[in-house]
Amino acid sequence: MATGGNLDFCLCFLQDVIIMAPASLILLVATVILQVDLLPDKKFLLLPPVNFTIKAINLAQVLLRWEPNTDQEQRNVQLGYHVKINAPQEEDYETRNTESRRITILHKGFSASVQTVPWNDRSLQPSSWVSAELKAPPGSPGTSIVNLTCTTNTKANNYTHLRPYQVSLHCTWLVGKGAPEDTQYFLYYRYGSWTEECQEYSKDTLQRNIACWFPRTFINSKGRDSLAVYVNGSSEEAAIKPFDELFALHAIDRVNPPAKVTAEIEGTCLSIQWEKPVSAFPVHCFDYEVKIYNTRKGYFQVMLQLILIFDDRFLLETFKKLSSVTALVTPWN
């Protein structure tokens, strides 16, 4: 009986071992698989975007567009894109979008590259680059305009409170040295979503347009967008190459003279006062120059600072105001 009992015990023990072994094996395999999943996969590669295109959608404006690679292996990795502008001016940035709009001149052409990058896991390597190009517009060399300059001027708009200021635009240029005598140029400007063609031109002796005047525009005098100006042309003898340029409004604004300039003499003191000129730019954007004519000594004296005693007859009192003004004892602009 004892021997049989021991045998039964051994058989039971062996059965327990045999039954438990597969469970232990499964647990071990599961642990190994979990640990492997946690390790970085060195074979996981990011693939470059596909269908990358560049399209001109407006004056001095392009749309870059691409699509994610459909062969990209799906993992718990957020993807982004590194965009590099190669020409006409180098620039690079990152985005999670699959399209991007850029404001740029286009008469020199435009080229860019894009690659896929990991957005939240910088241990992964970015993909290779794909590139696209927008070629420079056709035209004979030397036929495009040169020396394009533009200025804006702001006037008070008494017709609406929504737009208290009205901006005019004046542009001039020179005829290209390689342009035939029958060349005619045409100017357009774009500000924001507004595009307008010039209707008032000045001409040279050959009746070629060399300047343009917009008495009223859609330019927002308080806006920060760049002003895009585009000039193309036509001729029976040659293809005229277009030209475009971008302008910052604050850099081309022709400042108005200060408003309500007054001068008052009290004894030996001269007091000059004025108000900010008509402009959408705030007060701190202006400096002033005051020019005083000394009637005793017969010469002008220019003051840029606050208080200046220039002889025993006059004391100029002015404060830190803002514009470029010129004034006599009786003011002039």
How do residues 264-306 score in pLDDT, each as one tens digit? 878 778 788 888 888 887 777 778 888 777 777 666 666 554 3
DSSP 179-227: --TT-EEEEEEEETTEEEE---EEE-TT--EEEEEESS----TT--SPE
Residue 146 in this model has a pLDDT that exceeds 80? yes
> What is the mean pLDDT of the segment spanning 208-217?
97
DSSP 249-298: HHHHB-PPPPEEEEEEEETTEEEEEEE--S-SS-GGG----EEEEETTTT
Same fold: 50-134 with 146-251: yes
Q: Is the Cβ–Cβ distance between 306 and 316 less than 8 Å?
A: no
Q: What is the pLDDT of residue 162?
A: 65
Computed over every residue of the chain, the mean pLDDT equals 80
Alpha carbon distance 170, 318 (integer Å):
34
Domain boundaries, the chain: 50-134, 146-251, 259-329
Domain 146-251 coded CATH 3.40.47.10: no
Q: What is the pTM of this model?
A: 0.74
User: Among 38-52, 69-83, 146-160, which is the least confidently predicted range?
Assistant: 38-52
More confident residue, 4 or 130: 130
In the structure encoding, which two tokens stand for residue 129, read together? Answer: 């680059």
How do residues 221-244 score in pLDDT, each as one tens digit? 778 899 999 999 999 999 999 999
319 by Cβ neighbours in 10 Å (0-12 / 13-18 / 19+) ranks as: exposed
Q: What is the pLDDT of residue 325?
A: 37
Q: What is the pLDDT of residue 271?
A: 81
CATH architecture for segment(s) 50-134:
Sandwich (2.60)
Q: Tell me, what DSSP letter sits at residue 308?
A: E
Residue 125 in this model has a pLDDT that exceeds 70? yes
Name the fold adopted by 259-329.
Answer: Immunoglobulin-like (2.60.40)
Residue 2 in this model has a pLDDT that exceeds 50? no
How do residues 92-110 score in pLDDT, each as one tens digit? 999 999 999 999 999 999 9
Q: Is the Cβ–Cβ distance between 295 and 311 less than 8 Å?
A: no
| DSSP-based three-state secondary structure for 21 | helix
**Pairing relation of β-strands 269-275 and 315-317?**
parallel
